[in-house]
Amino acid sequence: MGVPAFFRWLSQKYPKIISPVLEALPQEIDGQEIPVDTTGPNPNGEELDNLYLDMNGIVHPCSHPEDRPPPETEQEMMLEVFRYTERVVAMVRPRKLLMMAVDGVAPRAKMNQQRSRRFRSAQEAKEKEEQVAEFVKLLASKGTDIDSNLQKKGWDSNAITPGTPFMDILSIALKYWVAYKLNSDPGWAKLKVIISDSSVPGEGEHKIMEFVRSQRSHQEHDPNTRHVIYGLDADLIMLGLATHEPHFRVLREDVFAQDSKPRVCKICNQKGHRAEECTGKAKEKEGEFDEKSKANPRKPFIWLDVGILREYLAVELHVAGLSFQWDLERAIDDWVFLCFFVGNDFLPHFPSLEIRDAGIDTLTSIWRENLAAMKGFVTTDGNVNLGRAQFILDGLAKQEDAIFRKRRQVEERREANAKRRKLQEEANGDSGNDRLPAHRGKNERIPIAHPANIPLFAPNDHSEKTKKLNHDVVVNRAEIRTANYANKSAAAALKAQLLQNTITTTPSTSDQPAEAEAQPATEQASVLGKRKLETMEADSGNQTPTEAASREENADTVKLWEPGYRDRYYEQKFGRPPSDTNFRREVANAYVEGLCWVLLYYFQGCPSWTWYYPYHYAPFAQDFENIGELKINFTLGKPFKPFEQLMGVLPAASKHNIPKAFWPLMTEEDSEIIDFYPEDFPIDLNGKKFAWQGVAILPFIDENRLLDAMNKVYPQIPAEEKERNEMGNELLLFSESHPLYDELACQFFSKRAIDGDYELDPRLSEGLSGGVRKDPTFIPHSTVSFPFTNVKSDTYGDIEDDQSMSVIYLLPEKKNQHKSMLLRGAVLKAPALTEADKDVIINKQQGNRYGGGYLDRSNSGDLAYLRATPFLISKDGEGDKDGPHPDTKISTLGTVRDINSPNKVTEMGNMVVAVVVAVRDTSHMGITQGTRIRKATTDRAVADIKEEGVVVAVAMTAAITTEIATGEEETVDITMIEEVPTNAAVVGAIVVIITITTSMTADLHSKIAEAGIKEEEEAEEGMAKEAAAGIIGEITAGWDKWIN
């Protein structure tokens, strides 16, 4: 799903959903690799039933990997697919079923995104070829020996599209490999395998979900089936939730562990250097046949447990005191629906919503606050109640102006930080990372992949290209130095100055960087297709970003942070005058249709093959009016044929993937559809910094014009090519050891063989329902030939006397809609969350009441804080207005309105503990989540508070502490004691901030040190004072507002 950093955000917000995969490794004996025995118990401690593979997530990294040179031929790519798939199956060890789904023809709504990706891919390939050609020319002029590989044309990854010869090869390869495993691997003896290749319409993951829903609707379905789905798309998480199957896991590579993977030159495809360091020399062999060359390390894998995510959401979404019955399943569906607003593959996201701006938290807060008023849930089994959806849009509309202004403030601070850092480097004579490794001093740090929890900063200037490869800690080391220095050096000075009223400050926003959307290693490849990934969520910065345009050349003229932005937006993006309000309504209504389409697609299957959103941009939340009056209906239609999709999504540069008869339609000037295939097209940065974040302005395909033009050419297509244009069927394969073998051999290959469909008995098929039909290409006990003649393999060969069977598989007839409910008999696992885990979520909700950091504002523009008082809940859960007994151990921090706690020394110590809890629990940043404050630090704070005789604010302290320690802006409800003198309160707050932040930043720095980065010893005193003054201003302004 097109939500940048969604997986990363989710795993940091709900950390217990992630766990490492425990994997048995092959053994090597006498130079011979012994494969893993998958018949043994699963090393992960739980036996798993069904494994579903979204094969495009395997094909992409195998065909054009980023950490090593690519395979030279398509047949070698198939061997890589075999190796990768075997490893995944071996680590999961499914006991009942394996489903391998390849992307088929997509719905029209998805083809727009595919078209954009493939056109961009061709454009980038062209640019790379031009760079390589220029480089080769330069080497030749210097008389340098040139590696012949440099002059080879790169493989076109656009071939991974239904209907191409490559996909035909892939289909043949998968059928062979499954037959090979069924004949040779004891772990596959009882396994049923379904292959849904690219000839079967539908996206891979949605074909999988259609299968899951079909099985779930059958009365013989086991409600405790344990499912695993492998894939790189974030929407697998949403799809897993949408099944309402309680035992569901998502399997994927641990992209956060890949930050230190070796860089590969984008010119020669060799490891160890970047493109700007390339010399064009051929790789030096290690050994006569390069046999000593280091093999690529095995990438670790992780589980995402959807069941534990359900636990988190049960706490996160719960709303008490409703006039209707609370239903967790319905609430989860609503949450999935809210996530679509932030991004999906079918609609552009709202301008005001982004993950880095806590967009999902904003929507979730709006949903919770309006649920009672809505008098019901927004969705029902994949259908949207538009009247209730209006509440969500209205809530967002009220915040849009503030969101845009806040985002601008963050960007300006980020740019100021970058400029200041650059000036510091110039003043210090430090050219940063411009020097190559060979020219660095021995004490200089070489940039390494940044820790996954620290976001990458993205500079603007072209001259900063080399620096862009650095991680955020290096880029923002000045801010880390400032925080460290302020914590270590300024406590006494600040305290004394405040007591003497010697500091005069104006309220200001603290100077910290905002999280930049960083392009991970795989995002550039994402435009190539399915590896859009969420691998993009690695945020690892392991690649040079696509051309960053300077602000001067690509100024944001819409200026969302300034009044009148809506008029400018529609005028510049849509070409419509401000007076055309009817057009805005048309755009909003089309977007509503899109939201309804997407939700149905996820919960019930494709509602229309032909519908699509006909604009490049989304409307504003303010543009949705009276949507409850809309009547949304879809016509199912039928999918494109494979060649028609190819003509709809491929650029002319990829025409070699299409039958030659169609080429003139893409290239000849007199072609009636030549306008569909521009060689050059604009990229609208749309307020972003990098081209990959921008919008490709491509003409939408007119289906009627396209099909009319193609129909004139179809008669010229050779018969052997026409086969690639036909719709295919899913295949079911199993070995002779499975009970189905004898039953179906009797049905299809005996004297009494039937000539039609046969309905499976789930008891005999071990839970599989549906129908089967004879596969006309299968011959029992025949020889299955190894399909590749141009590659040698010691592992694979012809399969003589095939002991497996292949039949056409038919899904059960759909009789009812998929229901959002747990099935009768479902047994949930023991809860994974503790009460402390739940308290963390609840406390964050209290700190997110204004939607993830955007506070409500009064007419005067001042911050409108809630009047609330910290209230400690004792061990037995009962609160006491007089405060807990000095010996009572605090278990939870609660917040109760208008309750004054007495100013007693015994309570001061408890208050410090409460502050510590608040700091830990209100921060949603991964770097502070779970931070524990040392007892010595707490004791120092208690002593300082006793000296001053002050009871300190809780939530505001937490907000500013988090801001200093992480560089991430936090705004939470201010929680404080009434009638406390301003100066004394400021002193107390500063004392606690300094002591607690010292510990937090120490913890932060220890994590940074683990990544191999040492904090610089010296810090600039002026910068520390500047940051401290900003902190004081924030606190003073908040307390003045409260007192006055």
User: What pLDDT digit, counting tens, does each position of 513-524 carry?
Assistant: 333 333 333 333
pLDDT at 1011 over 50: no
* H-only helix segments in 673-728: 703-711, 719-722
* Element housing 741 (H / E): helix 739-749
* Residue 35: band (very low, low, confident or very high) from pLDDT cuts 50, 70, 90: confident
For residue 773, count CB atoms less than 10 angstroms from its CB and return exposed for 0-12, middle for 13-18, buried for 19 or more: middle
With a CB cutoff of 8 Å and minimum separation 6, the contacts of 288 are none
Whole-angstrom distance, CA of residue 210 vs CA of residue 204: 10
Give the residue, 290 or 279, on which the prediction is more confident.
279
Q: What is the pLDDT of residue 815?
A: 84
At residue 904, the pLDDT reads 34
Average pLDDT over residues 1020-1025: 43
What value, to the nearest 5°, has the Cα angle with vertex 510 and ends 505 and 514? 165
- Joined together, the tokens standing for residue 68 give 């090593």
The whole-angstrom separation of Cα 399 and Cα 404 is 9
Measure the CA–CA gap between 572 and 290, rounded to whole angstroms.
Answer: 57
Please compute the mean of the pLDDT values over residues 891-920 and round it to a whole number: 37
| Position 303 pLDDT exceeds 90 | yes
As beta bridge partners, residue 384 has: 379
Structure confidence at residue 270 (pLDDT): 64
Question: CA 970 to CA 840: how far, in whole Å?
Answer: 16
The better pLDDT of the pair 875, 1026 is held by 1026
| 903 torsion bin: left (phi>0), alpha (psi -120 to 50), beta (else) | beta
With a cut of 70, say whether residue 410 has pLDDT above it. yes
Q: Report the distance separating Cα 79 and Cα 62, nearest Å.
A: 9
Percent over 90 (pLDDT), the chain = 51
For residue 740, pLDDT over 70 is answered with yes
Coil, helix or strand for 807?
A: strand
**Tokens 């199912």 correspond to what residue?**
636
Give the tens place of pLDDT for each residue, 601-640: 999 999 999 999 999 999 999 999 999 999 999 999 999 9
Angle at 1011 between CA 1005 and CA 1015, to 5 degrees: 40
User: Where are the domains positioned within the chain?
Assistant: 499-512+843-1043
Report the first-to-last Cα separation within the chain, whole angstroms: 48
- Alpha-carbon distance of 873 to 894, in angstroms, equals 6
Poorest-confidence range of 212-221, 322-331, 348-357?
348-357
Average pLDDT over residues 849-859: 34
What does the pLDDT average to over 592-596? 97
More confident residue, 280 or 195: 195
Nearest C-alpha neighbor of 803 from the set 785, 775, 772, 779: 779
Across 62-66, 143-147, 918-922, which has the greatest mean pLDDT?
62-66
Q: How confident is the model at residue 867 (pLDDT cuts 50, 70, 90)?
A: very low
Residues 409, 940: Cα–Cα separation, whole Å: 36
Name which of 283, 351, 973 is nearest 617 in CA terms: 351
Residue 299: predicted pLDDT: 87
Give the C-alpha separation, 743 to 761, whole Å. 10
Q: Residue 840, CB half-sphere, CA atoms under 13 Å: how many? A: 22
For 212-262, what is each residue's pLDDT tens digit? 999 999 999 999 999 999 988 888 999 999 999 999 999 999 877 755 555
Residues of the chain above pLDDT 70, percent: 64
For residues 983-1000, give the mean pLDDT: 49
Report the phi/psi class of residue 973: left, alpha or beta, with left for phi > 0 and alpha for psi in -120 to 50.
beta
- Min mean pLDDT across 82-91, 113-122, 788-797 is at 788-797
pLDDT at 141 (0 to 100)? 80
Residues 6+ positions from 735 with CB-CB distance below 8 Å: 182, 183, 188, 189, 190, 191, 741, 803, 804, 805
Backbone angles phi, psi at 219, to 5 degrees: -65, -20
* pLDDT > 60? residue 287: no
CA distance 731 to 946: 75
Instruction: Say yes or no to pLDDT of 793 above 70.
Output: yes
Q: What is the pLDDT of residue 932?
A: 36
Does position 749 have pLDDT exceeding 90, yes or no? Answer: yes
Pairwise CA distance, residues 457 & 420, whole Å: 14
The span from the CA of 988 to the CA of 836, in Å, is 28
* Predicted confidence (pLDDT) at residue 405 exceeds the cutoff of 70: yes
Q: What is the mean pLDDT of residues 326-351?
A: 95
Q: How confident is the model at residue 66 (pLDDT cuts 50, 70, 90)?
A: confident
pLDDT per residue as tens digits for the range 265-285: 655 666 666 555 565 555 565
Both tokens assigned to 962: 């988090």
What is the pLDDT of the chain when averaged over all its residues?
75
**Token pair of 222, please?**
């086991």
Answer for the pair 228, 251: CB distance below 8 angstroms, yes or no: yes
Mean pLDDT, residues 387-400 taken together: 97
Residue 762 has pLDDT above 50, yes or no: yes
Assigned token pair, 89: 């199956």
Candidate from 88-97, 112-121, 625-634 with smallest mean pLDDT: 112-121
Confidence at 17, pLDDT banded by 50, 70, 90: very high
Q: pLDDT value at position 993?
A: 54
pLDDT, residue 984, reads 46
Under the banding of pLDDT at 50, 70 and 90, the label for residue 452 is very low
pLDDT at residue 542 greater than cutoff 80:
no
Q: Write a three-state SS string for 941-970.
A: HHHHHHHHCCCCCCHHHHHHHHHHHHCCCC
Across 920-940, average pLDDT: 39
* Average pLDDT, integer, range 901-905: 35
CA–CA gap between residue 116 and residue 112 (Å, rounded)? 6
Determine the pLDDT at residue 329. 98
Asked if residues 736 and 159 have their Cβ atoms less than 8 Å apart, the reply is no
Q: How many residues in total does the chain contain? A: 1044
Section 1002-1015 average pLDDT: 42
Spatial strand order of the sheet with 248-253 comes to 18-20, 301-305, 248-253, 227-230, 50-54, 97-101, 192-196, 730-735, 804-810, 771-774, 758-759
Q: What is the pLDDT of residue 138?
A: 81
Name the pLDDT band for 3 (thresholds 50, 70, 90): low
Instruction: Give the number of other Cβ atoms within 10 Å of residue 272's Cβ.
Output: 10
Print burial letters for 459-486: b (CB count within 10 Å at least 16), e (below 16): bbeeebebbbbbbbbbbbbbbbbbbbbb
Cβ pair 217, 816 in contact under 8 A = yes
E strand or H helix at 51: strand 50-54
Spatial separation of the C-alpha atoms in residues 529 and 159, rounded to whole Å: 10
pLDDT for 440 beyond 80 = no
Contact 816, 382 (CB under 8 A): no
Confidence band, pLDDT 50/70/90 cuts, at residue 651: very high
For residue 974, the model assigns a pLDDT of: 33
- pLDDT of 490 higher than 60: no
* CA-angle at 928, arms to 841 and 305, nearest 5°: 50
Confidence of residue 128 (pLDDT cuts 50, 70, 90): confident
Encode 892-956 in three state secondary structure. EEEEECCCCCCCCHHHHHHHHHHHHHHHHHHCCCCCCCCCCCCHHHHHHHHHHHHHHCCCCCCHH
CB 94 within 8 A of CB 47: no
369-398: average pLDDT? 97
